[in-house]
Chain A
Amino acid sequence: MKVGSLNDAAPASEGKSKLINEKSFFGRFTDRASESRGKVIIYSSALLMIVAVVAITLFLTIQGLRSFVVDHLNFWTFITGTEWYPDRTKNPTFGAFPFIFGSLAVTFLAALIATPIAIGTAVFMAEIAKKWGTKVMQPVIEILVGIPSVVYGLIGLSIVVPFLRQHFGGTGFNLIAGAFVVGIMILPTVASIAADSLRAVPDSLRQASFAIGGTKWQTIWRVVIPAAGSSLLTAIILGMSRAFGEALAVQMVIGNARDLPKSILDPSATLTTIITLSMGHTTTGSLLNDALWSLGLILLLISYVFIVIIRFLGKRGESR
């Protein structure tokens, strides 16, 4: 009470002589009509975001470089080696290439599965059934986005894996099962961003196409999709970066074998699945723990590459 009244009392006595009602720091911050309160909140939120990104990157870099600096693993053999046997009593090896390959393979295969369906859905929503698209399809897609990844994993484990086992032999735990589950998972993300980018194509282009006698299909295929080109690519790459970071659903169906897969029907592992499987069993500062952090660092660096590509595509779209 005292603090508040003191703050208010000061300007009240001199207030009449002053044009600008100056207040103490807290007074300024808590006054409803004050500009500075909004400024402080917004500036600090923005600052917090930047600090978070920098802190996470720094932390991961420091932890991730430990295995090379402290434990003297060779960086080159770490990312190109194909043998990951950290627990072997004699001569443990750390070759992370199968996991880097697994992560990228799952990501690209998932994009391959998701893209045609997602673009098709987007065309349907944005070009063909505009009203129905926004009224029915949009909520359906939002529901799909909201389904937790563990549910996708469970469905994969009880439907996709037995299906693959029965029709293609083997165990059913393999690269394509992981790619399929993740592909379905990123489908709604890609579809909704793609629909937005199709909607952003100016109507004048469509009208011009119709004016010179283009059919609906020709307009969509030859005019709208090329015009939305780079933002469609952005949608796909955003989906891929989500696929790249997915751990739980993939871990449940991919089999997590550490060998380099020889075909898409072989069990495989990704950077994320190896980290989640082994991290809890390791002690802080041990060699395996450091190596897992290094895998995390590689994961972060590759997802930065995805962001850079998205930025690059965005710029190219603008300059057109």
Chain B
Amino acid sequence: MKKKNLLAIGLALVLSLTLILSGCGNGSGSSDSSSSSKEDSSSSEALSGKITIGGSTALQPLAAQVAKEFMEKNPDVQIEVQGGGSGTGLSEVQAGNFDIGMSDVFAESKSNIDAKALKDYQVAVVGMTAAVNPKAGVKNLSKKDLQDVFTGKVKNWKEVGGKDQKITLVNRPDGSGTRATFDQFALDNKTPAEGITQDSTNTVKKIISETPGAIGYMALSYFTANDDSVVKLSIDGVDASEDNVASGKFPVWAYEHMYTKGEPSKLVKAFLDFMMSDAVQTKDVPAQGYLSVKDMKVQRDAEGKQTDK
């Protein structure tokens, strides 16, 4: 009886404690990690602690892969990689809940984010282009024609040299990094007309491949060599190849960012250094369908101005 009493009290305490802890949530978790990594700076060498990374779902697979390798090298380090979207990544890293916030877009382009307080690490480059249903019968469009297609000025593919097929647009949701990049560099900030909207690239690809006359846009890694379900569109005669993106000839590309709030702790810095190391940049980055920042012969600032490196 007495033991049971004690057990019940204990259980009640544990329950209330978990409730309190889960209430505090992320906040306490990340402060733990920063404090533990501060301890590391005195003891040097072996890294230990916890890193929380979250944000862009486009960058998530690469981050998860690199995190796995980093944890294999440093068994005492625990890295948690979450999705949530670029907006969530930026908001949460600014609030201190994520140690690293992943984003497809520059922090400067988002409202309610103090970009100066965040430190930007450009870890990869993603190229993208329009994907067209094969029945449209186009492989190349001038930039002007592409804009006419997306703004709804042109309704049928035959008007831009394709077959007699109605045009169906497949857009991305507001705020999506892919949409922002495509609108800025392919459409020169013109507002696209309405069409179907989907978030996931796989769904977008499925829709384009199944709907006659559909056009959308996606990252280059989703076009595979022997897959003819969608046509990879050239713009102004420039093939959307990785080489052309790297040399700056093909304009539609964006950085994948990892942001930290101010200077990163030693542990987070070690992870970011690993991210930028040759081992990752020449192996994992291309394997996940990105271009290495080191291969780029041009660079861009937050306003989208392109300069030679």
Contact = CB atoms under 8 A, between A and B. Distances in A.
Is the interface on chain A under 10, 10 to 19, 20 to 34, or 35 or more residues? 35 or more
A30 interface: yes
8 contacts: A1-B2, A172-B211, A252-B203, A277-B197, A281-B173, A282-B85, A283-B113, A286-B112
B144 interface: no
B174 A283 contact: no
Contact of A283 (B90, B168, B203): B90
In the A-B complex, the 7 residue pairs with the closest CB atoms:
A280-B85, A281-B175, A256-B197, A277-B173, A284-B91, A4-B2, A282-B87
Is the interface on chain B under 10, 10 to 19, 20 to 34, or 35 or more residues? 35 or more
Task: Kindly name the residue among B4, B173, B198, B211 whose own CB sees the greatest number of chain A CB atoms within 10 A.
Answer: B173
A172 B6 CA distance: 63
B173 A8 contact: no
Interface in B158-207: 168, 173-177, 179-180, 183, 189, 191, 194-199, 203, 206-207
Interface in A220-273: 252, 255-259, 267, 269
Contacts of B113: 283
Contact of A171 (B3, B8, B175, B214): B214
B87 A283 contact: yes
A67 to B, nearest CB: 13
A86 interface: yes
A3 B5 CA distance: 9
Given A171-B168, A281-B174, A281-B177, A255 B86 contact: no
Nearest to B184: A89
A165 B180 CA distance: 30
Interface string A142-173: 00000000000000010000100100000111
A5 interface: yes
A8 B207 CA distance: 71
A85 interface: yes
A214 interface: no
Nearest to B11: A30
Interface in A1-41: 1, 3-5, 7-8, 26-27, 29-32
Contact of A30 (B5, B111, B112, B191): B5
Nearest to B197: A256
B199 A277 contact: yes
A256 B198 CA distance: 7
A7 B5 contact: yes
Nearest to B84: A280
B2 A286 contact: no
A278 interface: yes
Contacts of B168: 171
A88 interface: yes
Interface in A32-72: 32
B210 interface: yes
Nearest to B2: A4
Given A281-B86, A282-B87, A284-B112, A8 B2 contact: yes
A277 B113 CA distance: 21
A30 B4 contact: yes
A255 B175 contact: no
A289 B87 contact: yes
Contact of A86 (B5, B174, B206): B174
Contact of B173 (A3, A171, A256): A256
Given A26-B9, A32-B4, A88-B191, 8 more contacts: A1-B3, A86-B175, A171-B207, A257-B195, A278-B175, A279-B87, A283-B87, A283-B113
Given A3-B9, A30-B9, A283-B87, A257 B196 contact: yes
Given A30-B8, A88-B191, A284-B95, A279 B197 contact: no
Interface in A157-203: 157, 162, 165, 171-173
Contact of B207 (A26, A173, A257): A173
Contacts of A259: 194
Contact of A288 (B4, B175, B203): B175
A310 B281 CA distance: 60
Contacts of A26: 5, 9
A135 B20 CA distance: 46
A4 B6 contact: yes
Nearest to A256: B197
A259 B1 CA distance: 68
A289 to B, nearest CB: 7
B111 A286 contact: yes
Contacts of A4: 2-3, 5-6, 9
Contacts of A3: 5-6, 9
Contacts of A85: 191
